[in-house]
């Protein structure tokens, strides 16, 4: 029996690529390989120099055809290729895991990661150069929540809520050995009247009055509960964010969300009103200049 399909039959398999599509894919592959050739040759030259040094031969004219150099370059290239493939598979597996979790818990993943990275000045999540991944978003009755992994010099799991304000920078980090040492060496620190809070948190800011306005008793009580263990807090611009070391911990997204929403809700009304958002129409340079001002020292 013939398996030929008529004009009106439904397709039974994957769509075959056209000749033009195959040609474009082939051209793209050739261009990719061609772009890698100079890097491969440069790497091989470096390997040849290293092999010559190990074998006690002159380094001014290494033998690129040395069998040991060729074999070493081949092994390194194969190892790099395997690492790239394994990394890509791991990333795909992670994306599927995040997407599955989002569906099960009422979040969505169609979030513009470009608006999440490099939006703050405060370390360790500021100063530029980072990327955002594993982005999640959910609309709560108390505000829109976003969770993502920020990868810069270190990776941080961040959960943030926005408010209609442009507040100065305020950073709270757990008071540990490194923080205590930094404070003793002159690192900026703001103290409040509650000694237990001072013992648990290190507070840094460019505007001391802003810090004292935000850290009222109800906020300090919220930050003393067990679900804030290991978290850091950032209030900068329109954002109230909590973050922890490492990539996104899906098991902790919901608890971090509650902390971020609670802190945003506890911001005094006068604090929000006294720091209105930036006016629309500013250039990127003007926005960056305003962001830098958030961490300027307060003149007393």
Please name the residue ranges forming H helices in 64-222: 67-105, 177-184, 195-200, 208-214, 217-222
Structure tokens given for 122: 């405060």
Chain CA centroid to CA 230, Å: 18
162 — pLDDT class (breaks 50, 70, 90): very high
CB atoms within 10 A of CB 97: 13
Whole-structure pTM value:
0.72
- Counting Cα atoms < 13 Å in the Cβ hemisphere of 145 gives 25
Phi, psi of 197 (to 5 degrees): -70, -45
- Please compute the mean of the pLDDT values over residues 60-79 and round it to a whole number: 79
3-class SS shares of the chain: helix, strand, coil, % to 5: 45, 20, 35
Rg (CA), the chain: 27
Phi, psi of 242 (to 5 degrees): -120, 145
Residues in the chain: 300
pLDDT given for residue 7 in this prediction: 44
| Residue (of 210, 192, 196, 230) closest to 272 by Cα position | 210
pLDDT given for residue 12 in this prediction: 42
More confident residue, 51 or 216: 216
Give per-residue pLDDT as tens, 189-210: 788 888 899 889 999 988 899 9
> Does the pLDDT of residue 179 top 60, yes or no?
no
56 — pLDDT class (breaks 50, 70, 90): confident
Structure tokens given for 262: 């609670």
pLDDT given for residue 285 in this prediction: 65
More confident residue, 270 or 64: 270
- Please compute the mean of the pLDDT values over residues 163-177 and round it to a whole number: 87
> Does the pLDDT of residue 298 top 60, yes or no?
no
More confident residue, 36 or 260: 260
> Does the pLDDT of residue 217 top 90, yes or no?
yes
Q: What is the DSSP letter of 246?
A: S
pLDDT given for residue 5 in this prediction: 45
Strand 143-151 and strand 131-140: the pairing is: antiparallel
- With a pLDDT cut of 90, the percent of the chain lying above it is 39
Give per-residue pLDDT as tens, 8-41: 444 444 456 676 666 776 676 666 656 667 777 7
More confident residue, 65 or 281: 65
Structure tokens given for 83: 């690492």
Q: Secondary structure of 26-73 in the HEC alphabet? A: HHHHHHHHHHHHHHHHHHHHHHHHHHHHHCCCCCCCCCCCCHHHHHHH
């Amino acid at each position: 029996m013939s398996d030929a399909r008529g004009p009106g039959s439904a397709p039974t398999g994957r769509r075959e690529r056209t000749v033009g599509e195959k040609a474009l894919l082939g051209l793209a592959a050739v261009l990719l390989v061609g772009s890698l050739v100079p890097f491969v040759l440069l790497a091989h030259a470096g390997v040849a120099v290293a092999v010559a040094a190990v074998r006690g031969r002159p380094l001014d004219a290494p033998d690129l055809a040395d069998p040991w150099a060729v074999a070493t370059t081949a092994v390194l290239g194969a190892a790099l290729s395997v690492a790239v493939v394994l990394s890509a598979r791991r990333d795909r597996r992670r994306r599927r895991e995040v997407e599955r979790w989002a569906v099960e818990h009422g979040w969505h993943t169609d979030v513009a990661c470009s608006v999440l990275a490099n939006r703050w000045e405060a370390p360790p999540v500021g100063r530029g150069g980072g990327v955002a991944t594993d982005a999640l978003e959910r609309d709560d009755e108390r505000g829109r929540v976003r969770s993502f992994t920020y990868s810069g010099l270190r990776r941080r799991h961040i959960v943030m809520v926005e408010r209609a304000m442009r507040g100065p920078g305020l950073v709270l980090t757990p008071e540990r050995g490194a923080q205590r040492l930094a404070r003793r060496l002159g690192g900026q620190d703001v103290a409040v009247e509650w000694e237990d809070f001072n013992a648990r948190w290190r507070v840094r800011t460019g505007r001391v009055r802003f810090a004292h306005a935000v850290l009222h008793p109800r906020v300090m009580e919220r930050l003393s509960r067990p679900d804030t263990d290991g978290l850091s807090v950032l209030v900068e611009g329109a954002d109230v964010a909590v973050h922890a070391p490492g990539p996104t911990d899906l098991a902790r997204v919901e608890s971090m969300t509650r902390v971020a929403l609670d802190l945003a809700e506890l911001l005094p009304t006068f604090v929000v009103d006294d720091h209105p958002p930036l006016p629309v129409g500013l250039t990127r340079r003007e926005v960056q200049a305003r962001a830098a001002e958030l961490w300027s020292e307060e003149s007393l």
